[in-house]
Structure 1
Amino acid sequence: MRTKVGHFVFQGELTVDPDNKTNMKIKPPTTYREQVEIFKTRNLHIKNSESAENYLQRVNYYRLSAYAITLKDPLNKENYKDNSTFEELTSLYEFDRRLRLLLLGVLETIEIAFRTHISYETAHKYGPLGYKDKENFTNEKFHKESLDELDTLISRSRKGELFIEHHFKNYSGHIPIWAAIEVTSFGYISKFYRNLNEDLKKHIAKVYYNVPYLYLESWLQTLSNVRNVCAHYGRLYNKKLTFKPRLFKEDIRRFNNQKVYAAIYIIQRLLTRVERKRFLIELETLIQEYEEHIDYSHIGFPNNWRELLNNKHK
C-alpha cells in the first residue's frame, strides 16, 4: 500500500524520498497498546497493561526506551534481563527527572552568584564599560565574538526587559556590565570568564571559590552544559558528561569525571555552607527513595559518595 504524506511516500516500512531517490527503511508508527506489547515480547514484565499504556501516552516510548538500555540482557540485547519490570523502568525515568529538577535549582543559585561575582569584579577593575575593551581579555577574536553575541542578546531583550530599555532611553544604549550580565546565559558567562585576563580570573577564583582558576574554568563549562541538559529534559542517567571537569589528583583516584556524580561533586564545592547542606539533604533523600532501582555505576557514584560530598572544602 502506498500512502503519500507531504513530500514523502510511505510503503509499509519503506520510505521513499522522490527528490533524492533514496530508499530509507524506517519502522512504521505503533499504537500505545502495541508499544506495551513490544515491551512484553522482549521480556519486560508488566503487571497492568492499561496503566503502562497510560504512562506511554505521557512519556514517549522512544524516550523511555533510552532508560531501558541498562535493563537489557547482555547476552541478548533485544530482550530485557529476567525479572525486569515496567515499574523498574519508570522508576529510573522518574529518578532522572527529579534529579534534573534538583540540579536545576542549585545550578540557578551557582549561575546567579557567578554573574554577581564576575560583573562586580570586572566593573571595579575595568570600569562599568570595561567589558568592551579588548585589552582586558586574552583573545581578541573571542572578545569580538562575545560582544557581537551580547549585542544580539541585548537587542532581543529591549522589548521584554525594562532595565535594558531604560539604558537606551537615558544612557544612549551604554549598558554597564552589571546590567548587561543579566541578559546572558550560563554558557555565555563561562566563555566570558575563560577569556578574561589571567590576573582577574585568578582573583575571582581565589576570593569566591578558593580554587585555581583553571579548575573554575573547567567546572563552569561542565555545569553550563549540565544545566542545558536539565533545562531541555535531557538524560543524565547512564550518560557521559559532554565536558568532563578537571579534578584534583585526590579526587581522580576516588571517582571518574565522566558521569553526573562528578558534576554533583563540583556543584557542592561551589555552594555556600547553608546551600550545600540543603542540597545534600535533598540529594540523599532522592537517592534513598529510588535506591532499590538505580545502579550507582550508571551515575558514577562511588561507594563512599556521602562521605566525599560531606567533606568540608571551605
Structure 2
Amino acid sequence: MRNTQKIHYEELIITVSAYGLTLKDPLNREQYINGASFNKILSLYEFDRRLRLLLLGVLETIEIAFRTHISYEIAHKFGPLGYKNKEHFINEQFHQDSLNEMETLIKKSRKGELFIEHHFKKYEGKIPIWAVIEVTSFGFISKLYRNLNENIKKHIAKTYYQIPYLYLESWLQTLSYVRNVCAHYGRLYNKKLTFKPRLFKEERKQFDNQLTFAAIYITQRLLTKTEGIRFITDLEALISEYEEDIDFSCMGLPSNWRELLIKINNQKS
C-alpha cells in the first residue's frame, strides 16, 4: 500500500510540475517568484482540471448538434447513402480513406450498438448517414465536413452558424483538438493551441488565437443562446473561484473576456 501511495504521489508531482513553470522568475528560471508555493501549483492544476470538464460538456453539445446538421444535410441533398458518392466531396483519396475508416468503425460497433446491427439484419448492411455518423469521432466529423463540396459546406455554415465555411472548418479542427486534450487529461493552462482558429479582424485585435481563450471564444460562438448563457455563468464561477491563482495571460484572457462572450451571445437569434 505504501509503495502504491508513493507512486501515485510521484505521478502527481510530475503532472503538476508543468503548472509551476508559470511561477518561475523570468529573470532566473531556477527560482520561483515571491508567493509561489506547492499549494498554488495544485490550485492551477485543479483549475485546469475543472476547466477541461466544463469544456468537455459544452463540446459534446456542439458535437451532437453538428452531427445532426451534417447528417441531415447530406441525407436531404444526396440521399441516405449519398456519403458514399465521391462526386459530393473534394478530395477523392480522402473520401475513400473516410469510407474505409467508416467501415472499420461500423464493424467494431456491430456488437455494442443495436442500431448498427439492426441495419445489417434488415437492410443488408446499408448504413444511412444518420446512423454511421453516430459511431464516428469529433475529429472524423471535422475532416468529413472539410472534404464536402463547397455548396453544402456554405449552406451548413450559413444556415446553422451564420459564418463563412472557412471559419467553421477552422473552428471544428481547433475544437476537435481541444476535445482530445480534455478527454486525455492534457493541459490547457499556459499551453499554445496546436490548431489555431481562424478569427475575424476585430477579434484578432482583442485576443491571441494561439491561446486557450480563443478556443473558449469559438466554443461560445457555436453554442445556442441558452447554452451560451449557461456556459458564461459556469465559466465565470470557475474563474472567480481561482482568480487569485490564475495568470490571465497564460490563458490569453483579455480583461473584458466576459463582455466579449456576452456580446457574441446577444447577437444570436
Give the conservation status (yes or no) of the 8 Å contact 1:256–1:262: yes
- How far, CA to CA, are the matches of 1:75 and 1:197 in structure 2? 52
Partner of 1:9 in structure 2? none
Shift of the 70–56 alpha-carbon distance from structure 1 to 2, 3 Å rule, reads farther
1:117-266 correspondence to structure 2 within 5 Å = 117-266=69-218
Change beyond 3 A, Cα 1:166–1:243: same
- SS for the counterpart of 2:236 is helix
Equivalent residue in structure 1 for 2:228, among 260, 276, 285: 276
2:46 pairs with one of 82, 88, 94:
94
Cα distance change on mapping 1:99 and 1:59 into 2, 3 Å:
farther
Q: Relative to structure 1, is the Cα distance of residues 293 and 54 closer, same or farther in structure 2, using a 3 angstrom cutoff?
A: farther
Q: Cα distance, 1:286 vs. partner?
A: 0.2
In structure 1, distance between residues paired with 2:62 and 2:44? 27
Shift of 1:56: 6.2
Cα RMSD, aligned residues only: 1.6
**Aligned residue pairs: how many?**
264
Q: Which residue of 1 aligns with 2:254?
A: 302
Q: Secondary structure at the match of 1:57?
A: helix
Relative to the length of structure 2, the TM-score reads 0.95
CA contact (8 A) 1:269 1:313 kept: no
1:216-273 alpha-carbon deviations (Å, 9 max, x no partner)? 0000000000000000000000000010000000000011101110000001111111
Question: What are the Cα deviations for residues 8-67 of structure 1, in whole angstroms up to 9, with x where unaligned?
Answer: xxxxxxxxxxxxxxxxxxxxxxx99xxxxxxxxxxxxxxxxxxxx989628521111011
The structure-2 alpha-carbon separation of the partners of 1:239 and 1:225, relative to structure 1 and needing over 3 Å to count, comes to same
2:33 to 73, 76, 81: 81
Give 1 or 2 for the bigger CA radius of gyration: 1
**SS where residue 196 of structure 2 aligns?**
coil
Report the TM-score when normalising by structure 1.
0.82
Rounded Cα–Cα distance in structure 2 between residues aligned with 1:300 and 1:72: 18
> Quick one: structure 1 residues 90 and 54, their matched pair in 2 at CA, closer, same or farther if it must change by over 3 Å?
farther
Q: Does residue 267 in structure 1 map to residue 267 in structure 2?
A: no
**Counterpart-to-counterpart distance in 2, 1:217 and 1:133:** 21
Taking a change above 3 Å as real, the CA distance of residues 157 and 56 of structure 1, as seen in their structure-2 partners, is closer
**1:200 CA displacement:** 0.3
Separation in 1, partners of 2:7, 2:249:
27
Higher share of residues assigned helix:
2
Note if 1:67 corresponds to 2:19. yes
Task: Please state whether the residue corresponding to 2:127 is helix, strand or coil.
Answer: coil
Could you tell me which residue of structure 2 aligns to residue 108 of structure 1? 60
Q: Does 1:290 align with 2:242?
A: yes
Whichever residue aligns with residue 277 of structure 1, its letter is I
Asked which structure has the greater RCO (Cα within 8 Å, sep 6+), the reply is 2
